[in-house]
Amino acid sequence: MEGARMVPGDISTLDMLRQLERKVLWLSSYMIHHANHEIDRGDGLKVGGHQASSASLVTLMTALYFHILRPEDRVAVKPHASPVFHAIQYLLGNQTLDKLQNFRGFGGAQSYPSRTKDTCDVDFSTGSVGLGVAVTGFASFVQDYVHAKGWSRDWPKGRMVALMGDAEIDEGNVHEALLEYWKHGLTNCWWVIDYNRQSLDSVVSDRLFMKMAGLFENLGWKVVLLKYGKLLQRVFAEPGGERLKQWIDDCPNMLYSALVFEGAKGWRRQLEDDLAIHPDTLGLIRRHDDEALARLMTNLGGHDMEMILETFAAAPSAQPVCFIAYTIKGLGLPFQGHKDNHAGLMTKAQMNELRAREGINQGEEWDKFAGLGLPHDGIERFLGQVPFNRKGRRRMRASPVPVAPFPKVEAKGPMATQAGFGRILDEIARAGGPLAERIVTTSPDVTVSTNLGPWVNRRGLFSMVSQEDLFKERGLMSPQRWVMSPKGQHFELGIAEMNLFLMLSALGLSHTLFGERLLPVGTLYDPFVCRGLDALNYACYQDSRFIVVGTPAGITLAPEGGAHQSIGTPLIGMAQDGLAAFEPAYVDELAAIMEWAFDYIQREGAEDKEERWYRDEKGGSVYLRLSTRPLDQPSRPMTPELTAAIIDGGYWLRRPEPGTELAIVYTGAVAPEAIEAAGLLSEDRRGVGVLAVTSADRLSAGWHAAQRAREQGQPEVRAPVEELLSALPRDAAIVTVTDAYPEALSWLGGVAGHRVRALGVEHFGQSGSIPELYGHYGLDVNAILSAAEGISGRPVRYRFLQK
């Protein structure tokens, strides 16, 4: 091997990176090939792996990870570049061979980089295009926030980097984020666009994309084009070169892609035809043999290592930068440039050709050095000094913030849970201390209308630039005092629920990204949870920790508008992994839940326990569905037993008497109807029980877990909901009532085999008063009495017939 004679210290960084680029291309391609051709997973399916999409980013990622990035930088990697990411981590010693060999398999390296399922320090989970991109800017805000507070002293500010596909720009959430970034003065953010001009189905429109450059610039970004590589630039400077440049600039994306795929023959034919009347340019082309011509014409900026290094080195440090890197999808692979290559897989024969080209012998496929023309010790030394890897594992930790017992909120007269929420936060703000210091709130333009106003008045809005409240300064009356400063603790967002969940996602990762614990609380109108749902899903998927409050909720918001009612959100709360959902009826329940929640979102117990119980050791995020309906508050001591039951998900507000034939189960703001109906029913039915369900989510999770535990040999395990329903005779019936889709509670019949009539809301969009709407949708006292009569088959005294 020629390179073996070189002294390791003499290898230039550029040469080393060019060699590593080859290795990364080989490993990532082979990893996908191995998963598809070498492993029999028993289902006959190819697992795919997007070789072309991966190859597109090989040069850029090699440059970034092995040379440019620093430990404090955080990266969201385009989903389909996962093989490249894992190959790089493998070379850096952060990923194991068996995970690589089991790419896309159970327990192997994940299809798309995953914070929770991969073991090798993924910074942000990606997969749903656009979300990984947009979370980077919000992470930069969080970085600003922790530094503005004087925290995170030993950890310098890093760049939040998105390595993104060009089609990701089509996602609306990216544009919503760009506007929000501008408002808050984004810094330290790099977006590197893999401009291969291809998406999944096709070739991206030429003219549209350059509009994007203008958009970024308008919004304060520096736009840096990596268009032509050094080879092309040198040729452009030769006689006739300028015309070649013009030809490339005018070439439609579709034609360029086709020519990349066809290779030298295609290029020569096309160029000679188009440039026949320009002898200088023609001569220039003819001076290149086939191989050189193909190399020249594919020498785009995003594949030119030298140019990439120069460009990143010259990039501004604080201003956000959008690098538009021209690349070729699948460069170096047989389907390069082909419009249908997105899911393309190389055949065995094609893989063998690549193997021969890269000098990899049979049995050396996973070898870190095979085929590289450089001495092993030189490569090893280089890898050992890669700046990105210098501090070892990059995932940080922060100790939990103690949650002191909450100040008690005295309700004078009726109170709604939403108002209670505002009062509780206000009390925490007033009391001060570590809990108040670490809470950070955010809301998409509904801060005041979700009752965060008092908290913000006390704690202020966060902004890197201080600004007094002009109304206050001028002595004008307003209940809101909106002082902005780096000391503030509230992020005010524009109306974009996606941004809310991306912000929560970033805030809730602060302890692991920046080593500083934050306790994020976000509010939005409950129906608009659906607007941000995918971002919420991804926030939970990456194990970000926060409390989200959906309020007002349901038809209970009444005249506020049928168009704002939420029906399915409790089902979302139940189904969303990593999110514990609650819907209390009373403020003392809410206080108990919030006190627990601030602790729960900080728990970091072992992963394996999660399957067996409620994730109580592992922790997670919390969703509170609250109401604007004022209810008379119970006066009762909050005993440890009651607290525990509220957290488990329910308690008997009125215990059923032995031999009773009926129980009413309710959730949330319909409590008065349930209680009144039970009272009326007691006239002709003995000992009707009333079960308050504070969390259908946790009750059902506990039930599933207990069944699994029993099946796995722990016969003594009983779920809280099983304990609760054991108080009800087997032949008793249950009427459930909730201001939501009835199935949020109807499953209770499955627990012990009780008959169930489930009342709830099935239709959307009617405004009215609460009595009108409860009557219309069948949640009022009479509807409960009718349901009781229907399910028991015996008349109920106080029921009147519906008109």
- Phi and psi for 107 in degrees, rounded to 5? 85, 0
Instruction: Supply 365's token pair.
Output: 């496929």
125, 198, 257, 565: which one binds ligand TPP (CB under 6 A): 198
The residue number whose beta carbon is nearest to ligand TPP equals 165
HSE-up of residue 681 (Cα within 13 Å, Cβ side): 31
56, 510, 569, 633: which one binds ligand TPP (CB under 6 A): 56
Q: How far is the CB of 551 from Mg ion (least distance, A)?
A: 40
Q: Is 194 in the site for ligand TPP (CB under 6 A)?
A: yes
The entry of Mg ion, ligand TPP, none that residue 53 binds, CB within 5 to 8 Å by partner kind = ligand TPP
- Phi and psi for 651 in degrees, rounded to 5? -155, 155
Residue with the two structure tokens 């390296």? 109
CA distance 445 to 493: 6
CA distances from 581 to 78, 584, 593, 623, 648 (A): 31, 10, 10, 5, 11
The entry of ligand TPP, Mg ion, none that residue 507 binds, CB within 5 to 8 Å by partner kind = none
Q: Is 338 in the site for ligand TPP (CB under 6 A)?
A: no
Q: How far is the CB of 527 from ligand TPP (least distance, A)?
A: 22
Q: Is 196 in the site for ligand TPP (CB under 6 A)?
A: yes
Contacts of 746 (CB under 8 A, 6+ apart): 736, 756, 758
Q: How far is the CB of 168 from ligand TPP (least distance, A)?
A: 5
Peptide bond into 113 cis (omega under 30): no
Q: Which stretch binds ligand TPP (CB under 6 A): 29-37, 126-134, 552-560, 569-577?
A: 126-134
Q: Is 176 in the site for ligand TPP (CB under 6 A)?
A: no
DSSP 364-432: -TT-SSTT-SS-HHHHHHHHHT-GGGTTS------PPPP-PPPPPPPP-S-B-HHHHHHHHHHHHHHH-
Shortest CA distance to 461 belongs to which of 475, 477, 448, 478?
Answer: 448
Q: How far is the CB of 201 from ligand TPP (least distance, A)?
A: 7
3-class DSSP assignment, residue 735: strand
Nearer to ligand TPP, 132 or 522 (CB): 132
Q: How far is the CB of 329 from Mg ion (least distance, A)?
A: 6
Q: How far is the CB of 53 from ligand TPP (least distance, A)?
A: 3
The entry of ligand TPP, Mg ion, none that residue 485 binds, CB within 5 to 8 Å by partner kind = none
Q: Burial-class residue 368 by CB neighbours within 10 Å (0-12, 13-18, 19+).
A: middle
Q: Is 746 in the site for ligand TPP (CB under 6 A)?
A: no
Q: Is 128 in the site for ligand TPP (CB under 6 A)?
A: yes
The entry of ligand TPP, Mg ion, none that residue 423 binds, CB within 5 to 8 Å by partner kind = none
CA distance 527 to 518: 26
Contacts of 383 (CB under 8 A, 6+ apart): 66, 91, 92, 93, 389
Question: Considering all CA atoms of the chain, what is the largest pairwise distance in Å, rounded to the nearest integer?
Answer: 104
Nearer to ligand TPP, 205 or 712 (CB): 205
Q: Burial-class residue 33 by CB neighbours within 10 Å (0-12, 13-18, 19+).
A: buried
Q: How far is the CB of 124 from Mg ion (least distance, A)?
A: 19
SS3 content of the chain, % helix, strand, coil (to 5): 45, 10, 40
Nearer to ligand TPP, 56 or 643 (CB): 56
Helical residues (DSSP H) of 185-324, grouped into ranges:
206-218, 230-236, 241-250, 253-262, 264-274, 279-286, 290-297, 305-313
Q: Burial-class residue 714 by CB neighbours within 10 Å (0-12, 13-18, 19+).
A: exposed
Nearer to Mg ion, 254 or 370 (CB): 254
The entry of Mg ion, ligand TPP, none that residue 23 binds, CB within 5 to 8 Å by partner kind = none
The count of chain residues that interact with ligand TPP, using the rule CB under 6 A, is: 19
Nearer to ligand TPP, 79 or 508 (CB): 79
Nearer to ligand TPP, 162 or 622 (CB): 162
168, 426, 543, 616: which one binds ligand TPP (CB under 6 A): 168
Interface with Mg ion (CB under 5 A): 165-167, 196, 198
80, 99, 355, 757: which one binds ligand TPP (CB under 6 A): 80
Q: 462's torsion region: left (phi>0), alpha (psi -120 to 50) or beta?
A: beta
The length of the chain in residues reads: 803
Q: Is 329 in the site for ligand TPP (CB under 6 A)?
A: yes
CA distance 186 to 180: 9
Q: Is 485 in the site for ligand TPP (CB under 6 A)?
A: no
167, 419, 535, 692: which one binds ligand TPP (CB under 6 A): 167
3-class DSSP assignment, residue 579: strand
Q: Which stretch binds ligand TPP (CB under 6 A): 74-82, 479-487, 502-510, 524-532?
A: 74-82
Nearer to ligand TPP, 53 or 736 (CB): 53
Nearer to ligand TPP, 126 or 694 (CB): 126
Q: Which stretch binds ligand TPP (CB under 6 A): 77-85, 296-304, 464-472, 601-609?
A: 77-85
Q: How far is the CB of 597 from Mg ion (least distance, A)?
A: 41
Q: What is the CA radius of gyration of the chain?
A: 31
Q: Which stretch binds ligand TPP (CB under 6 A): 159-167, 543-551, 552-560, 665-673?
A: 159-167
Other C-beta atoms lying within 10 Å of the C-beta of residue 216:
19
Q: Is 114 in the site for ligand TPP (CB under 6 A)?
A: no
Q: Which stretch binds ligand TPP (CB under 6 A): 39-47, 60-68, 122-130, 345-353?
A: 122-130
Contacts of 453 (CB under 8 A, 6+ apart): 422, 447, 479, 480
HSE-up of residue 339 (Cα within 13 Å, Cβ side): 12
Interacting residues with ligand TPP (CB under 6 A): 53, 56, 78-80, 127-129, 165-168, 194, 196, 198-200, 329, 342
